[in-house]
């Protein structure tokens, strides 16, 4: 059977660990809020009604593609395109191409940043592997003007961070929704965790201080992971209604 992502790929190691995915989720929640096209996520009302669920669905779609056989992965990507097409038809104009690229770049960046935070530095070959997987996703989605390699992506990503993000009324509202749905403690933990993985431009726009209280927590988490107590901590960081999603991350980790 041919897989969309080969079994020895660094991408499977990144997306096969629940703790890494939670940091991808944390970083993505910051960039979703800042993106100039975030109004598209407000169009159906699903994002403000359930921001955590909406973000989880994006992450889980990507994860499903990573671990599927090639045909199933392509079908999932086509399904995503179909959903977007229906939104565009309903609203009467297309989602801007930069918005698609931004989400793709976001997944690349937070895959890299989360893995290096929790595991080790990635080699250049692994970075190229990571880029190749998401580039192939983007090509199937017919996203135009994608970079050719990881080094070119870094330049594109820097441009995106400068040109495609702003701290808007949508940003402020979405962070209010995060706080509402997470509660004070989990919201604080999300904010502190975001500081560990978001780019400097994101910190600047969100007026984040450089110091993060999550850094010593990550150190303690690594000890808990060694003692096989990490499942308890993972469950603590998300509300009860998302416990099943957290457990599914752990199950995937166990089979990779």
Q: For residue range 74-126, what is the model confidence (pLDDT) as tens digits?
A: 999 999 999 999 999 999 999 999 999 999 999 999 999 999 999 999 999 99
Instruction: List the Cα angle 250/254/255 in 5-degree steps.
Output: 125
Using CA atoms, how far residue 213 sits from 21, 43, 190, 233, in Å, is 20, 35, 11, 16
Distance CA 54, CA 114 (A): 20
Q: For residue range 133-189, what is the model confidence (pLDDT) as tens digits?
A: 999 999 999 999 999 999 999 999 999 999 999 999 999 999 999 999 889 999 999
Question: What does the chain come to in residues?
Answer: 256
Q: For residue range 11-23, what is the model confidence (pLDDT) as tens digits?
A: 999 998 888 888 9
- Count of alpha carbons within 13 angstroms of residue 21, beta-carbon side: 29
Cβ neighbour number for residue 24 with a 10 Å cutoff: 26
């Amino acid at each position: 059977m041919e897989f969309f992502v080969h079994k020895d790929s660094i991408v499977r190691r990144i997306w096969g660990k629940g703790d890494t995915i939670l940091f991808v989720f944390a970083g993505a929640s910051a960039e979703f809020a800042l993106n100039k096209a975030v109004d598209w996520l407000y169009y159906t009302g699903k994002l403000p009604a359930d921001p955590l669920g909406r973000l989880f669905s994006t992450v889980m779609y990507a994860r499903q593609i990573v671990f599927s056989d090639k045909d199933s992965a392509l079908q999932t990507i086509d399904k995503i395109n179909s959903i977007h097409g229906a939104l565009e038809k309903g609203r009467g104009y297309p989602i801007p191409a930069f918005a698609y690229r931004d989400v793709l770049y976001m997944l690349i960046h937070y895959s890299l940043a989360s893995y290096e935070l929790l595991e080790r530095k990635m080699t250049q070959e692994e970075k190229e592997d990571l880029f190749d997987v998401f580039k192939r996703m983007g090509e199937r989605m017919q996203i135009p003007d994608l970079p050719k390699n990881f080094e070119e992506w870094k330049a594109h990503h820097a441009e995106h961070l400068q040109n495609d993000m702003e701290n808007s009324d949508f940003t402020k509202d979405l962070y209010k929704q995060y706080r509402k749905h997470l509660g004070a403690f989990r919201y604080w933990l999300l904010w502190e965790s975001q500081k560990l993985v978001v780019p400097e431009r994101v910190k600047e726009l969100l007026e984040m201080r450089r110091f993060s209280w999550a850094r010593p927590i990550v150190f303690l988490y690594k000890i808990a992971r060694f003692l096989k107590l990490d499942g308890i901590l993972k469950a603590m960081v998300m509300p009860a209604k998302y416990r099943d999603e957290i457990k599914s991350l752990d199950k995937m980790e166990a089979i990779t």
